[in-house]
């Protein structure tokens, strides 16, 4: 039964779609429709972008000092301290992500906004060195304008924060679109932004389908920057659409991240690291370590221990405090995983544990699954599954491990376990990735950049550098000599 009704947030006000249409969201743990959202029209998106553009050009935000913008970001952080638990419940209900994790991420949100609030008045230009007779030269860093931010359903509040916080700190305005598969946490977050006192039009949320909502947003002539997190196929459409307005673009996409385990690794750390890499968040993470590469000498022993640990994972209601894995977020994702597993099994892959629906009558649950693979060409090895499925491969030496790890269309993250730091470091340097772990996995910090290359996208989010990605440079030359400008046709 429906229990929640959310609105969009445009030009400082909560609102419905212009034609009154709404869409529903389903709780993945119960398969019950539980919330509704406005289905934005192209006209709604246009209104949101124009409101953001007006706020960027002429509103109080345009005249605000960087320090005052920073104070507003810190107010957002303070509001999140109170609103965090409620936002966590909304996200868990809508996505099936464990409440224990969404609560932690909600607490972390406040730190992200506080961090970028502190950076707002530190976006500085420079004065290049010049000769005594040269004009004064200034290089300024200025905001871009309207930023279109599109986030997926997984870790949506955290992923949105890595776009919103640096963009606002740099002086831009934003139109944010959450995934139509799960929009509740983002829609609820609008209340936080409203209470924080952002000037009208600076921050806007539109909800709805890819077409017309997302397509209209990324191709809008007033949008100067598009920040997209999602899948590869959708990213290709975003690239095409954003070409119409020549918007700057960053893409944070998926991964098929390798975890290399050498025969001198500490197996206790390996078991915990691999479990975290693939089964945390039910494997629904772009950084999921879904390709496990085990060296010959420890292959059997390490695999036996990882299998044993996988069989101990508690699957259940994501609201439960003792649950290790909740459901997948969508039925569509579960069906795709089943299809790719079946295709791989027919090709020769061997399912060692899992591979089924966890024996539950309701909910899009899927068992922790480990598959022995003697080829990198199986569909489950080549494709990002976005679920709790681990492909295990064998290697003989460092060179083969690196070759196997590199053999992928993705380059988002990866990990290596070895007590020989030199070997571990060489491996980390040799494997293409935007983020890499040595003797651990999934440890993160908002002060560190992340992103990928190849089919994992381009651009980086997080850290100090991110704020510069929402600015552009302007060069100014000023003649301070007091002399008249020389005749341009007289050469001296």
- What is the per-residue DSSP string for 171-223? T-EEEEE--TT--HHHHHHHHHHHHTTPPTTSEEE----IIIIIHHHHT-TTE
Whether residue 487 lies inside any domain: the answer is no
How far apart are the C-alpha atoms of 365 and 271, rounded to whole Å? 23
Q: Which residues are designated catalytic?
A: 252
CB 380, CB 344: distance < 8 Å = yes
What residues pair up with 325 in beta bridges, in sequence order?
A: 315
Let me know whether 347 and 235 are in one domain: no
> In what helix (H) or strand (E) does residue 112 lie, and over which residues does it extend?
helix 99-119
| 405 in a structural domain | yes
CA–CA separation, 208 vs 25, rounded Å?
11
Q: Are residues 409 and 425 in the same domain?
A: yes
Domain CATH code at residue 308: 3.40.309.10
Q: What are the backbone dihedrals phi and psi of residue 67, each rounded to the nearest 5 degrees, phi first?
A: -65, -40
Q: What is the pTM of this model?
A: 0.95
Look at residue 1 in the predicted model and tell me its pLDDT: 53
Clarify whether residues 325 and 468 are in a common domain. no
CA distances from 242 to 3, 53, 220, 336, 355 (A): 37, 17, 8, 29, 39
Q: Determine the pLDDT at residue 3.
A: 80
Backbone torsions φ then ψ of 411, nearest 5 degrees = -155, 65
Residue 246: which domain range? Answer: 4-253+456-476
Q: pLDDT tens per residue, the chain (492 residues)?
A: 568 999 999 999 999 999 999 999 999 999 999 999 999 999 999 999 999 999 999 999 999 999 999 999 999 999 999 999 999 999 999 999 999 999 999 999 999 999 999 999 999 999 988 766 668 899 999 999 999 999 999 999 999 999 999 999 999 999 999 999 999 999 999 999 999 999 999 999 999 999 999 999 999 999 999 999 999 999 999 999 999 999 999 999 999 999 999 999 999 999 999 999 999 999 999 999 999 999 999 999 999 999 999 999 999 999 999 999 999 999 999 999 999 999 999 999 999 999 999 888 899 999 999 999 999 999 999 999 999 999 999 999 999 999 999 999 999 999 999 999 999 999 999 999 999 999 999 999 999 999 999 999 999 999 999 999 999 999 999 988 888 898 999 976
Closest-CA residue to 142 (of 472, 456, 371, 444): 472
Question: Looking at the structure, do residues 350 and 388 belong to the same domain, yes or no?
Answer: yes
Domain total of the chain: 2
Q: How far is CA 137 from CA 104, 143, 277, 468, 474, in A?
A: 47, 20, 49, 20, 11
At 89 the three-state DSSP class reads helix
C-alpha to C-alpha distance for 183 and 387, rounded to whole angstroms: 20
Query: Cα(434)–Cα(3) distance, rounded to whole angstroms?
Result: 41
> Residues 292, 173: one domain?
no
3-state helix, strand, coil in the chain (%, to 5): 40, 20, 40
Packing angle of the helix pair 299-311, 267-279 (nearest 10 deg): 50
Angstrom distances, CA of residue 391 to CA of 263, 404, 431, 443 = 18, 12, 18, 21
> How far is the C-alpha of 291 from the C-alpha of 257, rounded, in Å?
6
Cα angle 108, 109, 110; round to 5: 90
Question: In the prediction, which pLDDT does 240 show?
Answer: 95
- Looking at the fold, whether 432 and 291 belong to one and the same domain comes out as yes
Structure tokens at 160: 């949105």
Asked if the structure places residue 484 within a domain, the reply is no
277 and 305 part of one domain: yes
Do 109 and 83 touch, CB atoms closer than 8 A? no
Q: What is the dihedral of CA 341, 343, 346, 349, to 10 degrees?
A: -40
Shared domain check, 267 and 245: no
CATH code for the domain in which residue 80 is found = 3.40.605.10
How high is the pLDDT of residue 92?
Answer: 97
Give bridge partners of residue 461 from the DSSP assignment: 450
Please indicate, yes or no, if residue 443 is contained in any of the structural domains.
Answer: no
> Does residue 225 contact residue 172 with C-beta atoms inside 8 Å?
yes
**One domain, residues 376 and 405:** yes
Same domain? 70 vs 217: yes
Which letter does DSSP use for residue 484 in this model?
Answer: P
Handedness of CA 356, 360, 362, 364 (dihedral sign): negative
Does 219 map to a domain?
yes
Please indicate, yes or no, if residue 320 is contained in any of the structural domains.
yes
Q: How far is it, in rounded angstroms, from Cα 337 to Cα 329?
A: 12
* 224 lies in the same domain as 80: yes
* Beta carbons within 8 Å of 16's beta carbon, 6+ residues apart: 7, 8, 22, 38
Q: Are residues 208 and 109 in the same domain?
A: yes
Q: Is residue 408 part of a domain?
A: yes
- In a domain? residue 450: no
């Amino acid at each position: 039964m429906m229990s929640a009704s959310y609105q969009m947030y445009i030009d400082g006000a909560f609102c419905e779609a212009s034609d009154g249409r709404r869409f529903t969201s389903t709780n993945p743990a119960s398969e019950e429709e539980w919330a509704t959202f406005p289905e934005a029209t192209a006209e709604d998106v246009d209104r949101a972008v124009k409101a953001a553009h007006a706020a960027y050009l002429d509103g109080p935000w345009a005249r605000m000092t960087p320090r005052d913008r920073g104070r507003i970001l810190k107010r957002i952080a303070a509001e999140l301290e109170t609103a965090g638990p409620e936002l966590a419940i909304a996200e868990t209900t809508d996505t099936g992500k464990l409440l224990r994790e969404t609560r932690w991420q909600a607490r972390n949100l406040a730190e992200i906004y506080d961090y970028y609030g502190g950076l707002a008045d530190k976006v500085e230009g420079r004065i290049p060195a010049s000769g005594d007779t040269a004009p004064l030269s200034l290089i300024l860093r200025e905001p871009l304008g309207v930023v279109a931010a599109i986030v997926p359903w997984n870790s949506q509040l955290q992923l949105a924060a890595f776009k919103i916080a640096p963009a606002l700190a740099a002086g831009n305005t934003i139109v944010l679109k959450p995934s139509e598969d799960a929009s509740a946490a983002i829609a609820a977050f609008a209340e936080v932004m409203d209470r924080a006192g952002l000037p009208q039009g600076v921050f806007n949320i539109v909800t709805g389908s890819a077409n017309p909502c997302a397509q209209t947003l990324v191709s809008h002539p007033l949008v100067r920057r598009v920040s997209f997190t999602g899948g590869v196929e959708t990213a290709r459409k975003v690239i095409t659409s954003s070409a119409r307005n020549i918007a700057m673009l960053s893409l944070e996409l998926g991964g098929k991240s390798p975890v290399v385990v050498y025969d001198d690794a500490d197996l206790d750390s390996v078991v915990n690291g691999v479990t975290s890499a693939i089964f945390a968040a039910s494997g629904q993470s772009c950084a999921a370590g879904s390709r496990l590469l085990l060296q010959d000498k420890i292959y059997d022993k390490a695999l036996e221990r990882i299998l044993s640990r996988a069989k101990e994972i508690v699957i259940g209601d994501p609201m439960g405090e003792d649950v290790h894995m909740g459901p997948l977020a969508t039925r569509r994702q579960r069906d795709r995983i089943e299809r790719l597993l079946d295709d791989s099994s027919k090709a020769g892959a061997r399912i060692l544990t899992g591979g089924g629906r966890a024996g539950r009558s309701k909910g899009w649950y899927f068992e922790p699954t480990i598959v022995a693979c003697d080829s990198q060409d199986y569909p489950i090895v080549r494709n990002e599954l976005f679920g709790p499925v681990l492909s295990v491969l064998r290697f003989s030496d460092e060179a083969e491990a690196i070759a196997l790890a590199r053999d992928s269309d993705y380059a988002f993250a990866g990990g290596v376990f070895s007590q020989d730091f030199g070997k571990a470091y060489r491996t980390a340097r040799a494997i293409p990735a935007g983020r890499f772990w040595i003797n651990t996995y999934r440890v993160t910090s908002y002060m560190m950049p992340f992103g990928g290359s190849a089919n994992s996208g381009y651009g980086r989010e997080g850290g100090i550098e991110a704020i510069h990605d929402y600015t552009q440079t302007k060069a100014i030359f000023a003649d301070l000599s007091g002399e008249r400008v020389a005749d341009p046709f007289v050469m001296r």
